[in-house]
Structure 1
Amino acid sequence: MLASLKYICTSCSSLTDSQVEIKEEYCLHSRHQGSSCNRCTEVCPQGAIEKGKFIAEKCDGCGLCATICPAGAIQQTWLLKLLPQLIRHVRETQACAFICRKNPKVAGAFRIPCLLGCSEALLLLLASQGAKRILLGAESCVECPRGEMCWDILAARVSHIYEILHDYGAKCQFVFNRDKYKGETKAGRQGEVSSISRRRFLTDIRRGSVNLLGHMVADMGRGFRQEVKKTSLETEKYLPYEHKLLSAAMNNLGARTNQHPKIQGYFGRVEVSQSCHGCGACANACPTGAMTLQEKAGRRILVHAPGKCTGCGLCQEICMQDSIGLTRSVSWQAVSEEKQYEVANRPARQMETALGSMENRLSFLLGCGLKKN
């Protein structure tokens, strides 16, 4: 009886204190029912997301889904609350420590639901703010059923971050509270990430963080949060929170090192072939506003902004002409300078000649025939 009561109380607690927030209106499936995006379902270790539906009682708030959602439909509530304090902490101590919520509290360390919630965007942002050392500590991972998976994912993230920091000429040491760990990059470089003891690391943090207790920063500058105007899905555009952190991190690194390397994986660059007739369906569907349609002097012009592109691929899936190609290699200069590129320029009359074929294509997709006058 007591065991059953404890289970009910635990379940109710997880429902009322959820560590992730789902905004279904931002999901790619809400914008286009034919979207093949299944990222959150594939990575969820608890099976809490099935066919785009969130099952709250199964979620334990690890946040892995939020770190990979390209549309920003899933957010970690703890990150929204703690980010100002994290950045203030890093600026004053040049260090930061994260521990799993299952661990006992440690002075100077931030307890979060799961280390899986430490996305590359967050870790890069802290490094760009001046962090010289970042501790990822989780003694309880040894007993956690997904402990090994957690460490494999973190190791891959840290390895990628080392590549980016190397390209920028910046340095940040990542400390794992396990044995020795070496992050090896694609180019074969290795970074020693556990050269100091965990006790000494936390002692250094405590010395610098006394003045931070109870301190919260109300304003972290431009770009971290943005109110979204509630309009129809056709006009509503929303830049994911994680993507804003990435942009801020890259801008910080570029300003500090005066470098703008081309790095794979975070932003997208669209190319449009001659088969495009300028219908603008891709611009309507784009969840972030990276793709826009302009009409000037009888021309329909498609413009793409890599800094707003998350590489979700929805524009490719919705294009009836299969005209769109997507690459994941973008110069950070294009991101930092908010550059826009004209990717298609078609005469408006081309739409009129293409209308018949579009009607035929739509009727085929809807499974019906065209009514002849």
Structure 2
Amino acid sequence: MAALENFISVISSLDSEALRVVPERCVQVRHKGAKCLRCAEVCAAGAISYDGEDVIIDGEECIGCGTCATACPTCALEAVHPADAELSAALAERVAAGDEIVVACARALSRARRRAEEAAEAASGLLRRAPVDFDASRILQVVCLGRLDESFYAECAARGVSAVTLAGDSCETCKYHRGGKLAREAADSAGALLDAHGCEFERSFVSPLPPRCYEGGAAAGALDFDPAKRATIATLREMTAAAAKEAAADALALGAEKEEEPEARYVKVSEDGTLPQFVPVRRNRVMNSLRRVGEPVRDEVTCRLWGQVSIDTDACTSCRMCATFCPTGAITRFQDEDGAIGVDHRPYRCVQCRLCEDICMTGALSVSDAVSLDDFEHGRVHHIPMDPPAWTPNKPDSIFTKMNQVIGGEHNSFF
């Protein structure tokens, strides 16, 4: 794996008009032993890849689809085009207007537009391409359906929406097919959460764009739209390109005045000996939406967002490194006045990044994707006591004491 400073520089290169990067949240940045490569595994455009030794990022290949942001458990990557707040606002407008919720990817919109133009051309007999008027009030546009995470579906349900139509264009044959696969995984995960809360919520993947997304008219024919309309809209891909050009022009105009960005630094350890912790805003949105949906009707739920940590106290060495590096505070240290030590586990904060599992030197810790809804809904805290370590780190004789404990017996004479 690349050195820490190199990885911070590499991942920061993705920061753009279409993607915001928060390096200190990345588990690879927090600990080099992390095995998480979810962004590389799902990157629809191949802008993020892993060659077996290093993570390779090509910012020029990034299309701003947001699939990496959906896959990232710690929200180290955040989609900007559209941002979560923009998507939420658009959803609220559609719900207020009483529209059915339809989300379409750029490829589906582009393909539907071409088909409409061909039909219009055939109907008119003219050798020209007629633009098509998509009703913007009926379509939420994203570059790829993989942009949609559980928070979107949960908010839909919280706003009283019972069904969402997801319009793609043969995801299996799409160049960015990884995004389509992730879209289904996120939809299924959201479905499990909503079902566990007694909410019936339908997610329909269709191809091509549903006919109701076009304006109707006598000349609509088999495609149910009016080819005589002359209004034009740009697909999200075209809007992205335009935004990128504007951003580039602004950057060139302000280049002489722009201050040089500071070099990437290591994530600093706080006074209590742990790295900075945070709870992603997206996580809070999911929880708030689920509370509005209703009380749980099941004891347990399995999804990709939450995790349940188990610790084999017999194998545990009480190093509590899991608490030191946990990004969200799902695992924290405690030390009572009587000297008792251990960790507190909060399943409702676990993002299933599995960093604790990856760095545990004795394999004493494991993470399950099945979570108790009682723990989840009521903020249960699991108090896990541990045996005090037989040696004290950072003392003058700490190495001697530890090695003496490990080797022991007749080999003590070596020390």
Structure-2 change in CA distance of 1:95 and 1:317 (3 Å): same
**Structure 2 CA distance for aligned equivalents of residues 260 and 90 of structure 1:** 31
1:170 counterpart residue number: 199
Matched to 1:232, the amino acid is K
1:206 counterpart residue number: none
CA deviations 1:299-330 (Å, max 9, x no partner) are 11210000110111111222233221221111
2:93 counterpart residue number: 89
1:32 counterpart residue number: 31
SS at match of 1:267: coil
Given that 1:26 and 1:73 are in contact with CA atoms closer than 8 Å, whether structure 2 keeps it comes out as yes
**Structure 1 CA distance for aligned equivalents of residues 298 and 84 of structure 2:** 28
Q: Structure 1 residues 43-52 or 108-117, which shifts more?
A: 43-52
1:199 aligned onto 2:212: yes
**Structure 2 CA distance for aligned equivalents of residues 43 and 87 of structure 1:** 25
Matched to 1:346, the amino acid is D
Structure (1 or 2) with the larger CA radius of gyration: 2
1:232 counterpart residue number: 268
Superposed CA RMSD: 3.6
1:302 aligned onto 2:343: yes
296, 307, 321: which one pairs with 2:362?
321
**Structure 2 CA distance for aligned equivalents of residues 322 and 140 of structure 1:** 42
SS at match of 1:42: helix
**Structure 2 CA distance for aligned equivalents of residues 178 and 127 of structure 1:** 23
Structure-2 change in CA distance of 1:152 and 1:136 (3 Å): same
104, 127, 139: which one pairs with 1:99?
104
Structure 1 residue ranges without an equivalent (≥5): 1-14, 180-193, 204-229, 362-371
Aligned sequence identity (%): 22
1:127 counterpart residue number: 157
Matched to 1:34, the amino acid is G
Given that 2:145 and 2:166 are in contact with CA atoms closer than 8 Å, whether structure 1 keeps it comes out as yes
Q: CA deviation at 1:145?
A: 2.2
Matched to 1:316, the amino acid is E
CA deviations 1:226-270 (Å, max 9, x no partner) are xxxx982543112234433332333233xx255354111221111
**Structure 1 CA distance for aligned equivalents of residues 185 and 27 of structure 2:** 26
1:76 counterpart residue number: 79
1:14-29 → structure 2 map (5 Å cutoff): 18-29=17-28
2:122 counterpart residue number: none
Structure-2 change in CA distance of 1:339 and 1:110 (3 Å): same
SS at match of 2:356: helix
330, 336, 345: which one pairs with 1:290?
330
291, 306, 311: which one pairs with 1:251?
291
**Structure 2 CA distance for aligned equivalents of residues 360 and 67 of structure 1:** 45
Matched to 2:301, the amino acid is I
Structure 2 residue ranges without an equivalent (≥5): 1-13, 114-133, 217-265, 405-413
Given that 1:19 and 1:113 are in contact with CA atoms closer than 8 Å, whether structure 2 keeps it comes out as no
* Number of equivalent positions: 305
Q: CA deviation at 1:117?
A: 0.3
Structure-2 change in CA distance of 1:117 and 1:125 (3 Å): same
CA deviations 1:119-153 (Å, max 9, x no partner) are 23322332233112212224596984235x54444
SS at match of 2:74: coil
**Structure 1 CA distance for aligned equivalents of residues 280 and 401 of structure 2:** 32
291, 296, 311: which one pairs with 1:272?
311
Q: Structure 1 residues 273-282 or 291-300, which shifts more?
A: 273-282
Given that 1:100 and 1:137 are in contact with CA atoms closer than 8 Å, whether structure 2 keeps it comes out as yes
1:333 aligned onto 2:374: yes
1:118 counterpart residue number: 148
| TM-score when normalising by structure 2 | 0.63
Matched to 2:32, the amino acid is Q
SS at match of 1:303: strand
Structure-2 change in CA distance of 1:28 and 1:202 (3 Å): farther
Matched to 2:147, the amino acid is G
CA deviations 1:339-361 (Å, max 9, x no partner) are 111123334x6444995599659
Q: CA deviation at 1:156?
A: 4.2
CA deviations 1:199-244 (Å, max 9, x no partner) are 17999xxxxxxxxxxxxxxxxxxxxxxxxxx982543112234433
Structure-2 change in CA distance of 1:202 and 1:159 (3 Å): farther
Q: CA deviation at 1:53?
A: 5.0
Given that 1:35 and 1:314 are in contact with CA atoms closer than 8 Å, whether structure 2 keeps it comes out as yes
**Structure 2 CA distance for aligned equivalents of residues 32 and 174 of structure 1:** 37
Q: Structure 1 residues 71-80 or 99-108, which shifts more?
A: 99-108
**Structure 2 CA distance for aligned equivalents of residues 99 and 41 of structure 1:** 24
Matched to 1:65, the amino acid is C
SS at match of 1:116: helix
